[in-house]
Structure 1
């Protein structure tokens, strides 16, 4: 299993969510976050006065089977990308296990 974390523009959430639903993704977590990438800060010529803005973003978290990762990632890319700086980032991380709290069931079956 893999955990896919996506930080995207808030205005792209509905398009991404709809596309993931059409793909068959039935479980995801959505959070309001703030953050910036590597090019957001402005430094004065003397190395002082560093300014960083933290614009609002949306974080989507999905745990999926290994064989579905590429399709999920490509779907997010296709629906989140505007081509402008600030489109966001996607991380793909290992997920050791999943446990359904209600039943105690473990593994891919709880996805």
Structure 2
């Protein structure tokens, strides 16, 4: 299994989620975050929590079977891009094991 983390523009989240769910990917975590990079959003602010943050971002996290990675990355890329700097990044990592909180049993 793989974990996919996508750091994207907040205004793209709803469109991406709609298409992921439409493709059958329903177990998704979304977080609001702050980031810094080459791009600085025109609505950027100096964070009260972190002195180096300059842009609001959203993080999408999803764990999928290896066969689904290309499909998920494609959906995120297609519906997350604006073709401008700062569209974001997608990370794909290996998942060694998964355990259910309720039972403590490994699921894969």
| TM-score > 0.5 by shorter chain | yes
Q: Give the 4+ runs in structure 1 shifted more than 2 A.
A: 103-108
- Equivalent pairs counted in the alignment come to 97
Match for residue 88 of structure 2? 88
Distance 1:76 1:40 in 2: 19
Q: Cα offset for 1:104?
A: 2.9
CA contact (8 A) 2:32 2:58 kept: yes
**SS at 1:78 equivalent:** helix
RMSD: 1.6
> TM-score scaled to structure 1, two decimals?
0.80
**Aligned pair 1:73/2:77, yes or no?**
no
In the alignment, structure 2 segments of 5+ residues that lack a partner are 41-51
- CA shift at 1:36, angstroms? 2.2
Q: Name the counterpart of 1:21.
A: 21
Q: Equivalent residue for 2:36?
A: 36
